[in-house]
Structure 1
Amino acid sequence: MVTLSWQAPTALAAILFAIGMLGLLARRSLVFVLMSIEIMLNAVALLFITAGMRWGDPQGQIMFIFVINLAGAEIALGLILLLRLRARITTLDGDKATLLRDVKA
């Protein structure tokens, strides 16, 4: 049986989270923002699995299932909101979404 150290998956999770954070901060398109959040959630799920493996506890796998369910709900609601936003304005730029505010002076 091959044993895997916990440092390698933890480093991979950190790299994935950093890529997601970089994509979240660098991009303006709301589709890329949603994809970056999805990458960050996958990194957290990998970290839960790694922690469960490290301590021999199945709670990491249970939390993984919760994170995957959360990611599915986030992407479904995010895509619905993007479709509704696309119907009101012609672009998916995050800065243009501030035009939807109902400002009454």
Structure 2
Amino acid sequence: MVPISLFLSLAAILFCIGLYGVLTRRHLVIVLASIELMLNSVNINLVAFSAIGPFANISGQVFTLFVITVAAAEAAVGLAILIALYRNRNSIDVIKHDLLRW
């Protein structure tokens, strides 16, 4: 039996890597991939807590399937927006897309 602390530490490491990617990278594809990494670390936590514990049930795993579905839709919409931005500005650099700036 694998202890839950290993799952939680793996999820924390993945979340920190994803947060670092979101905060420091300027390439929009890398930012989207980092957000997906953060969502997957949350999925690891949900599955770990639903499988281990005094009230082990399947609800965390079902909720993880819903999160994966929403993440797939978010990735599709994000990539569509990314393609539209590239067609308009010929760049996918985050700094160059300051459409709301005065």
Instruction: Report the TM-score range of the alignment, normalised by the length of the smaller protein.
Output: over 0.9
In the TM superposition, residue 12 of structure 1 has moved relative to its aligned partner by 0.2
Q: Which runs of 4+ in 1 moved over 4 A?
A: none
In structure 1, the partner of 2:22 is 24
| Partner Cα separation in structure 2 for residue 4 and residue 54 of structure 1 | 10
Bigger mean CA deviation after superposition, 51-60 or 12-21: 51-60
Q: Distance in 1 between matches of 2:12 and 2:101?
A: 40
Q: In the alignment, which of 2, 5, 10 is matched to residue 4 of structure 1?
A: 2
SS at match of 1:32: helix
Alpha-carbon shift at residue 30 of structure 1 (Å): 0.7
SS for the counterpart of 1:97 is coil
Distance 1:90 1:57, change over 3 A: same
Normalised by the length of structure 2, the TM-score is 0.92
The answer for the alignment partner of 2:80 in structure 1 is: 80
C-alpha separation in 2, matches of 1:74 and 1:52? 25
Amino acid at match of 1:20: G
Length-normalised TM-score, structure 1 = 0.90
Letter in 1 for 2:22: L
1:101 shift after superposition: 4.3
Structure number, greater radius of gyration: 1
- Aligned pair count? 100
Letter in 1 for 2:63: M
Which runs of 5 or more residues in structure 1 are unaligned?
Answer: none
Match of 1:48 in 2: 46
Q: State the Cα distance separating 1:102 from its structure 2 match.
A: 8.8
Aligned sequence identity (%): 39
- Cα deviation, residue 78, structure 1: 0.4
